[in-house]
Structure 1
Amino acid sequence: MKLLLTATAAAACLTCSVAFTCSVAWPAEKPNIVLLFADDAGYADFGFQGSRQFKTPHLDELAASGVRLNQFYVTASVCGPSRAGLLTGRYQQRFGFIENNVPGIMSPNGRFSGEEMGLPLDLPTMGNHLQSLGYRTAIFGKWHMGEADRFHPTKRGFDEFFGFRGGARSFFAYPTKRMPNLGRRLERGYGDFKEHEGYLTDALADEACDYIERSKDKPFFAYVSFNAVHTPMEPDPKDREEFPSLQGKRRQVAQMTLSLDRACGQIIHKLNQLGLAETTLVVFANDNGGPTDANASSNYPLAGTKATQLEGGIRVPGMIVWPGKLAPGSEYPHPVSTLDLLPTFVKAAGGEPASMDGLDGVDLLPYLTGSLSERPHPTLYWQMDSRGSIRDGDWKMMRFPDRPAYLFNLADDPSEQNNLADTHPELLKSLYEKLFAWELELQRPLFMLRRQEEGWVSTLFDTYRKPPPQND
């Protein structure tokens, strides 16, 4: 399944230890771009991340074909905001997308309908940018950027859609007489609702491969947004005998990860089969840390889980493969972000990210090839409700509404076991100030978590009393 390198590039790479710093002719044509995106996977639950329990041979081989991103961050520790940052190349807090867009969230007008929740329509997405550069674009799987028709992916930069609008659904077809709400129904294109056959992870890979086959004569972008290994915990029955040494949810997530790996391998095999591997940029990443309570994933050696701003909630496995441009079997040690994927793709496609307004991400190629030696991001930020975190160099400060701040030196303590806040008060103060200065640039939330206890809805900026029900 390994992506192929040209003989010249492969030979040149033998002398490169971290990045592809050698002088090799890059292909003149625009690369195809494939983004393989997992859901709720554990940081340690892949062979290329050191797992001895889980089996991920295809992703392990893919990782050996390119650059592993050792400090790869998402912009949020939950699905929706993380994907909003990915698709726009901007911190999602800049446009008020700080919570998952799910039922039970309140919009400023006091309504609880999902109609109000989605990626703002004035923001171009990764799909829009690549369409403008001549790409055919498609998304397969989870959208989670708004269930209302106006937020539909085919209206947000994607020519094709096969998936579901919401944030989670069954991996098996729903019975015709008991169809779920709109967000969970499988949809082809716009409005063609029909359930799949078999196991959904396999169906997404099949559809992605069909799209690649049909698009091979024109540059294409495939955003394969798997819902594996998100709940519900529903492994493929053909894997029921796998991982006999594991039990309960841990065994189930191992089986679902095996299905995810097979699906990724199927897509890579299709690229090789069609002779497209050498001209395709492939990224594998995950949307947030694993939720160890819900699916028994492992984020070892990182502390924290999904929904926290500890490293286990915001640092994810990642790799980028581009034959002839990036050295196989290499690693990049500095912090990078899913914010960077949009400008990286745009630059690879022949666009100019520097001319795009409002981007927080950067083109990673000069850093991964060694042309630039400094860190792509001296500082990174996270914020949700009144919780906020900042990573400045190797120092990370975490602010809470109900306890003193934490301060960690991630170079010495990546597992965040040694809180240094008491011993570095001046540094703590300066990081507080830097985080607050960033927060002053942000927009008020577009929708907020519903606090049912006393009818209050709280955000970082204000506290709103829940309005009375609307009669219209």
Structure 2
Amino acid sequence: MKMIIAMFFVVLGSVAALADTPAKPNIVLLFADDAGYGDFGFHGSHHFKTPHLDKLAKSGIRLSQFYVTGATCGPSRAGMLSGRYQQRFGYEEINVPGIMSPHSKLLDDEMGLPTDIKMMGNYLQDLGYRTAVFGKWHMGVADRYHPLRRGFDEFYGFRGGARSFFAYPDPSRTAHENWMERGFENYQEHEGYLTNVLADETCEFIQRNKDNPFFAYVSFNAVHTPMEADPQDKDTFPHLQGDRRIAAQMMLSMDRACGQIMDKIEKLGLRENTMVVFSNDNGGPMDKNGSSNYPLAGVKATQLEGGIRVPGIISWPGALKADAVYDAPTITLDLIPTFVAAGGGDPAALEGLDGVNLLPYLRGEKSGRPHQTLHWKMETRGAIRHGDWKLLRYPDRPAELFDLAKDPAEQNDLAAVHPELVRELFKKHFAWELELQRPLFMLRRAEEGWSARRATEFRKPPTKDY
């Protein structure tokens, strides 16, 4: 009898423990396009207004040194969605479809994230998640690269890298990869302003899947060119001019869309068990869309901090503290291991990934830095961050060395002061490069020159009043 009673209490305890185990959290990844580092209220902007994202930042943890793996849209997304440095599988140098081959449809179709690489959606599908992409895909336009064949159950957006925010009157006059598509090859242009439409579609997906774990990758094309604002915002930001004013209006509409998605999660009672991440694909281009990367130097397509350091917010009320800042370097490579861990999987069992599970660090369960060393590479240009030291390698000038702890704006080159450290970092970066594949797509010479020019012209950070 005593044994039966003891077994009863063991079973009862197991049931209680099971009841205390939280359900798999829903995961929402809100992702901006070409936004300026300094153009968010939670980063101190006095010109742009982002009240909903500011609220999201207050509800969770702001990652103050959050990086992307590439300084342009496609490579950056390839690294995030694969969890690997994109150079490991040759996706290094350019966006797809090919800017180098405007007359070669055949070559364009060959360009994309290799199909043997597992992607973020695949990992979450394995854990029982319903997965969806809304907006910009940019991982290849051929059918074999389509989101529905790369780990996502639903897709509403466009396969390419940029398009109008308004419906095309005659889609046949523009490239097919920029047509709006629902599912697979169901093409139909949207009604209204695209940023709003993406929010509506995301909310409908959340409503349909409220009783099951879901993952929504909301890939806004704001504030990427073309510079087109929502007509309802035409009278806002009268103190700004030109593209800077339009960018502020586009950011306002994207912030409002994020707020709409967050409101939907709240109304369905899902907020406590929904992890929401916000970030951006690369630094703002500044001269293209009026963005500002203050207080960082550099722009999109450069490996200065302004090209690769991006906003980062992770909010999960049921599991992470609110109104906090995490200061150690982190990177979009970390999202897949973190999502897998949150969903009940074992990130340590995932092979080939370059990121780490951030949850123990964010909860204070693990000390130290998630990464001691991070790398960036685009053809002969390269960068390495080791601790707080960062080395920039150029093809046409001496390397530069910066102490980011004291000089995050990269204004004081210390290469001549620490030649031994320059050699050490060169060796570490070379060793990493030996692990990589050859690039699958070669960069146009003109594009390389354009990037080098930008690295020079935008060396000094913009002023705060820009």
Q: What is the TM-score with the length of structure 2 in the denominator? A: 0.90
The answer to whether the 8 A contact 2:97-2:109 is kept is: no
Deviating more after overlay: 305-314 vs 317-326: 317-326
Q: 1:102 aligns with which of 97, 101, 123?
A: 97
Q: Provide the residue aligned with 1:53 in structure 2.
A: 47
Does residue 80 of the first structure (1) align with residue 79 of the second (2)? Answer: no
Does residue 295 of the first structure (1) align with residue 326 of the second (2)? Answer: no
Q: Provide the residue aligned with 1:418 in structure 2.
A: 412
Q: C-alpha separation between the residues in 2 aligned to 1:377 and 1:285?
A: 19
The answer to whether the 8 A contact 2:237-2:248 is kept is: yes
Q: C-alpha separation between the residues in 1 aligned to 2:223 and 2:176?
A: 21
Residue 26 of structure 1: how far off its partner (Å): 7.4
Pairing 1:296-335 to 2, within 5 Å after superposition: 296-335=290-329
Q: Provide the residue aligned with 1:226 in structure 2.
A: 220
The answer to whether the 8 A contact 1:36-1:225 is kept is: yes
Pairing 1:185-264 to 2, within 5 Å after superposition: 185-264=179-258
> Which letter does structure 2 place at the counterpart of 1:157?
G
> Which letter does structure 2 place at the counterpart of 1:366?
P
Q: Provide the residue aligned with 1:266 in structure 2.
A: 260
Query: CA 1:341–1:197 in structure 2 vs 1: closer, same or farther (change >3 Å)?
Result: same
CA deviation string 1:91-130 (max 9, x = no partner): 00000001211333369xx986211100100011000010
In the alignment, structure 2 segments of 5+ residues that lack a partner are 1-18, 448-466
Q: C-alpha separation between the residues in 2 aligned to 1:176 and 1:106?
A: 24
Pairing 1:297-446 to 2, within 5 Å after superposition: 297-446=291-440
Aligned length: 427
> Which letter does structure 1 place at the counterpart of 2:312?
G
Residue 291 of structure 1: how far off its partner (Å): 0.4
Residue 450 of structure 1: how far off its partner (Å): 3.1
Report the 3-state secondary structure (helix = DSSP H, G, I; strand = E; otherwise coil) of the residue aligned with 1:250. Answer: helix
The answer to whether the 8 A contact 2:35-2:224 is kept is: yes
> Which letter does structure 2 place at the counterpart of 1:50?
G
Residue 179 of structure 1: how far off its partner (Å): 3.9
Q: C-alpha separation between the residues in 1 aligned to 2:356 and 2:323?
A: 23
Q: Provide the residue aligned with 2:159 in structure 1.
A: 165
Q: C-alpha separation between the residues in 2 aligned to 1:404 and 1:47?
A: 37
Q: Provide the residue aligned with 2:143 in structure 1.
A: 149
Q: C-alpha separation between the residues in 2 aligned to 1:301 and 1:103?
A: 33
Q: C-alpha separation between the residues in 2 aligned to 1:399 and 1:248?
A: 35
Q: 2:29 aligns with which of 16, 28, 35?
A: 35
Q: C-alpha separation between the residues in 1 aligned to 2:235 and 2:394?
A: 44
The answer to whether the 8 A contact 2:374-2:386 is kept is: yes
Residue 296 of structure 1: how far off its partner (Å): 1.1
Q: C-alpha separation between the residues in 2 aligned to 1:284 and 1:265?
A: 12
Does residue 93 of the first structure (1) align with residue 87 of the second (2)? Answer: yes
Q: Provide the residue aligned with 2:132 in structure 1.
A: 138
CA deviation string 1:1-33 (max 9, x = no partner): xxxxxxxxxxxxxxxxxxxxxxxx975210000
Q: 1:180 aligns with which of 136, 159, 174?
A: 174
> Which letter does structure 1 place at the counterpart of 2:96?
N
Residue 452 of structure 1: how far off its partner (Å): 7.2
The answer to whether the 8 A contact 2:101-2:108 is kept is: no
Query: CA 1:72–1:26 in structure 2 vs 1: closer, same or farther (change >3 Å)?
Result: farther
> Which letter does structure 2 place at the counterpart of 1:72?
F
> Which letter does structure 1 place at the counterpart of 2:406?
D
CA deviation string 1:346-402 (max 9, x = no partner): 110111111111100000000000111110000000000100000000000000000
Q: C-alpha separation between the residues in 2 aligned to 1:221 and 1:111?
A: 33
Query: CA 1:208–1:179 in structure 2 vs 1: closer, same or farther (change >3 Å)?
Result: farther
The answer to whether the 8 A contact 2:34-2:285 is kept is: yes
Q: C-alpha separation between the residues in 2 aligned to 1:439 and 1:230?
A: 31
Q: C-alpha separation between the residues in 2 aligned to 1:47 and 1:177?
A: 37
The answer to whether the 8 A contact 1:103-1:112 is kept is: no
> Which letter does structure 2 place at the counterpart of 1:136?
R
Report the 3-state secondary structure (helix = DSSP H, G, I; strand = E; otherwise coil) of the residue aligned with 1:422. Answer: coil
In the alignment, structure 1 segments of 5+ residues that lack a partner are 1-24, 454-472
Q: Provide the residue aligned with 2:9 in structure 1.
A: none
Q: What is the TM-score with the length of structure 1 in the denominator? A: 0.89
Query: CA 1:425–1:126 in structure 2 vs 1: closer, same or farther (change >3 Å)?
Result: same
Does residue 119 of the first structure (1) align with residue 110 of the second (2)? Answer: no
Residue 178 of structure 1: how far off its partner (Å): 4.5
> Which letter does structure 1 place at the counterpart of 2:411?
Q
Q: Provide the residue aligned with 1:458 in structure 2.
A: none
Task: From the two aligned structures, give the one with the greater helix fraction.
Answer: 2
The answer to whether the 8 A contact 1:106-1:112 is kept is: no
Q: C-alpha separation between the residues in 1 aligned to 2:353 and 2:250?
A: 35
Q: C-alpha separation between the residues in 2 aligned to 1:299 and 1:27?
A: 42
Query: CA 1:414–1:112 in structure 2 vs 1: closer, same or farther (change >3 Å)?
Result: farther
The answer to whether the 8 A contact 2:97-2:141 is kept is: no
Report the 3-state secondary structure (helix = DSSP H, G, I; strand = E; otherwise coil) of the residue aligned with 1:197. Answer: coil
> Percent identical across equivalent pairs?
67
The answer to whether the 8 A contact 2:111-2:441 is kept is: yes
> Which letter does structure 2 place at the counterpart of 1:339?
L
CA deviation string 1:235-279 (max 9, x = no partner): 011111000000001000000000000000000000001001111
Name the Cα RMSD after superposition.
Answer: 1.5
> Which letter does structure 2 place at the counterpart of 1:309?
Q
> Which letter does structure 2 place at the counterpart of 1:315?
R
The answer to whether the 8 A contact 2:37-2:310 is kept is: yes
Runs of 4+ in 1 over 6 A off after TM superposition: none
Q: C-alpha separation between the residues in 2 aligned to 1:83 and 1:398?
A: 22
Q: C-alpha separation between the residues in 2 aligned to 1:413 and 1:341?
A: 27
Deviating more after overlay: 229-238 vs 444-453: 444-453
Q: C-alpha separation between the residues in 2 aligned to 1:263 and 1:226?
A: 10
The answer to whether the 8 A contact 1:179-1:185 is kept is: no
